[in-house]
Copies of this chain bind each other. A is one copy, B any other.
Amino acid sequence: MLKNDLLLRALAGESLTRPPVWMMRQAGRYLPDFMKLKAKYDFFTRCQTPELATEITVMPIDQIGTDAAILFSDILVIPQAMDIAVEMKDGVGPWLPNPIRAAKDVANVVVPDVTDRLHYVFEAIKQTKKVLDNRVPLIGFAGSPWTILCYAVQGQGSKNFDLAKSFCFSQPEAAHQLLQKITDTTIAYLKQKVAAGVDVVQLFDSWGGMLGEDDYQTFSWQYMQQIIDALKSKTKVIAFAKGCWFALPIMARSGVHALGIDWTCSARNARYLSGGQLTLQGNFDPARLLSPIPEIEKLARKMIDDFGVQNYIANLGHGILPNVPVDHAKAFVNAIKSYNS
């Protein structure tokens, strides 16, 4: 039995005296101990070595005191397992040397045996669960098929993912074939993650906000819905689609257990658009962690005032920035934990 099950209780809609809190990318670059490992091991070594992934995953539990752990990994392990080469380039970030640009490229993409290709992830989950020793729940995650397509086609990060969108708009059949292959792989992957021991899964649609309302349904949401349908009876599912306020009414009716909210969508708008009942997660502006500590504490309390204590998970509205001082991150988490006490 979990000693701290606040996250699971918020996802179940139970009545709480304060919301649970965790931070997207909490197992990352703002932590000095993480930087030491980063200096010694390259990105994929850290992902693919269960001992390292476990050590990094547990860091924010020990050092910051969040109410949940999220497995250290990357959304791009999925295209890598599908035989789409992925590298991490200094100063560039993700770099895919053979991007997908035509139907024949899609034909070469495999739907792999995830048990074989991603065994290191499942092993990391098992080791992490042991080290966590039921202190807090463990979250597993995957990127949305659209977000994975963005990288697979564009070949790197982008301000507007113009090549990815161009591919979808000029070769929709090939795009849908690729999205379905990613979806099938992701469903198998997340089922295995649940079998290995994660308590919750979160889907990240980081680039959904690049699409208009109709195109979002066509190229992103229908595949997110397939994943939710396949997982929702097996585990708790959180869906986070950055910039997709316009889709919240449809997302709220999908069967997910919670929706992530970014900082451009106020608590009032998020509650209104999602129908008022569903558990919401977010939405502190990550750059606001660069404010002075008293301001962080004030804004964190205001965030709970605005969302309400019930049906709510305190979090950032996107990943924590690398230049956030550790004591600022702690002040944010502690302001949430001391609410109502």
Residues of A within 8 A of B (CB): 157, 159-160, 162, 165-166, 169-170, 209, 211-213, 215, 243, 245-246, 263-266, 269, 283, 285, 287-288, 290-292, 295, 317, 321, 323
Q: How long is the Cα–Cα vector from A269 to B212 in the complex, in angstroms?
A: 12
Q: Give Cα distance in the complex from A256 to B160, angstroms.
A: 28
Number of copies: 2
Compute how far the CA of A283 lies from the CA of B246 in the bound complex, rounded to whole angstroms. Answer: 15
**B264 pairs with A211, CB closer than 8 A:** yes
Query: Cα distance A317–B213 when bound, in Å?
Result: 13
Residues of B within 8 A of A243 (CB): 243, 264
Taking CB atoms, residues of chain B closer than 8 Å to A170 are 290-292
Nearest chain B CB to A217 CB, angstrom units: 11
A165 touches B264 (CB 8 A): no
CA distance A290 to B243 in the complex (A): 23
- The answer to whether A285 and B246 touch across the interface, beta carbons within 8 angstroms, is no
Contact indicator B246/A290 (Cβ below 8 Å):
no
CB–CB A287/B160 < 8 A? yes
**In chain B, what residue has the closest Cβ to A263?**
B212
Distance, CA A157 to CA B157, complexed state (A): 14
8 A/B residue pairs, CB under 8 Å, sorted by A:
A162-B287, A162-B290, A165-B285, A170-B290, A170-B291, A211-B285, A213-B264, A245-B246
A285 to chain B, nearest CB (A): 5
15 additional A-B pairs beyond A157-B159, A162-B287, A211-B285, beta carbons within 8 Å, are A159-B159, A160-B287, A162-B323, A165-B287, A166-B290, A170-B290, A170-B292, A212-B285, A212-B288, A213-B264, A213-B266, A213-B269, A243-B243, A246-B264, A246-B269
Residues of chain B within 8 A of A245, CB atoms compared: 245-246
Contact A169-B212, Cβ < 8 Å, known A162-B321, A266-B246, A323-B162:
no
Q: Report B-chain residues with C-beta under 8 Å of the C-beta of A157.
A: 159
CB distance A290 to B165 under 8 Å? Answer: yes
Instruction: Give the distance in Å from the alpha carbon of A265 to the alpha carbon of B287 in the complex.
Output: 24
Cα-based distance from A159 to B243 in the complex (angstroms): 13
How far is B243's CA from A246's CA once the two chains are assembled, in angstroms?
11
Q: Quick one: given A269-B246, A287-B160, are A323 and B166 in contact (CB under 8 Å)? A: yes
Residues of B within 8 A of A166 (CB): 287, 290, 323
Alpha-carbon separation in the docked complex, A268 to B211 (Å): 16
Residue pair A264, B321 in contact (C-beta under 8 Å): no
Provide the bound-state CA to CA distance between A169 and B321, in Å. 14
Minimal beta-carbon separation of A111 from chain B (angstroms): 28
Q: Give A313 Cβ to nearest chain B Cβ, in Å.
A: 18
Measured between beta carbons, the chain B residues less than 8 angstroms from A160 are 287, 321
